[in-house]
Amino acid sequence: MNTQTMNLSEIFASVEGEGVNLGRPAVFVRFAGCNLSCSFCDTGYAREECETASIYAPGDTSRMPNPIDCEAVLSILKTDFPGSRTVVLTGGEPLVQVDAVSCLAQRLRLRGYAVHLETNGTLSGAFAGIKDLVDFVCMDIKLPSTQQGVNLKREHRSFLEMLGHVDSAVKIVVTPEATGSEFENAVSLVAEVNQHLPFLIQPAFTDSRPAVDARTLLDFHAAAASRLNDVRISIQLHKMLGVR
């Protein structure tokens, strides 16, 4: 059977720290490399490919040289994280390495794992080839104020239209620089494609605290709830707990 190699940043067990699966245990496979450079990025170490990946097994930390074979990743998950049945593919941006994602997701599903994907929602062409291989997708919508003014509306619309019947949610990280107009434009985009998608408003964090005040978050929530059916404020639990 053909296999793929991948460049990873780290593998670790934790709880899902944000979104609709908040608090659920999972193993995270963090891919290295990203096609964006977000102003609020809290995993800058995973923006570029790296020479080795960190494996944070319970009670032990080791490093493995990149690239890593798909079967080697499966062996790590089975041996070092035997109790977890949910694997979150995150980054960086996993879809930059879509062939590796496809290989890993197929094999995980065959072994009875649930596969979740976290993505910046800009690579719909890559997603088209693996959308049937994942159980849940959390798609980001990036505001222009986090992308040096670049508007990714076209890319995000294409990705939203690809979600179809995939169990999914949309997340927007808001920073102190976020404007009401760009936020409302993002809400309109989601409403035009699928107003029933869970819509998560998440403040960027600074020093383990939200960087956006409660009043602003509640105003954003009210604006989104006027157009969408399921709007939630999402706080990054793992940062408040001080875990990975």
Closest CA to 113 of 140, 133, 143, 141: 133
Side chain identity at residue 21, one-letter code: N
Cite the DSSP H helix spans in the chain. Answer: 70-80, 98-110, 124-128, 153-163, 180-193, 214-225, 237-241
Taking 70 as the threshold, does the pLDDT of residue 1 lie above it?
no
The upper half-sphere exposure of residue 69, i.e. CA atoms within 13 Å in the direction of its Cβ, equals 6
Do 41 and 102 form a contact (C-beta atoms < 8 A)? no
Residue 85 has what pLDDT?
Answer: 95
Q: How far apart are CA 131 and CA 135, in angstroms?
A: 9
Closest CA to 38 of 145, 147, 122: 147
Predicted structure pTM score? 0.96
User: What is the arithmetic mean of pLDDT over 59-72?
Assistant: 96
The fold for domain 5-241 equals: TIM Barrel (3.20.20)
Taking 50 as the threshold, does the pLDDT of residue 103 lie above it?
yes
Proportion of the chain above pLDDT 90, given as a percent: 86
More confident residue, 58 or 199: 199
Residue 125 has what pLDDT?
Answer: 97
Which of 2-11, 14-23, 123-132 is least confident? 14-23
Taking 70 as the threshold, does the pLDDT of residue 243 lie above it?
no
Closest CA to 203 of 222, 175, 237, 171: 175
User: What is the arithmetic mean of pLDDT over 59-86?
Assistant: 96
User: What is the arithmetic mean of pLDDT over 16-35?
Assistant: 91
Q: What is the pLDDT of residues 146-168, one digit of tens each?
A: 999 999 999 999 999 999 989 99
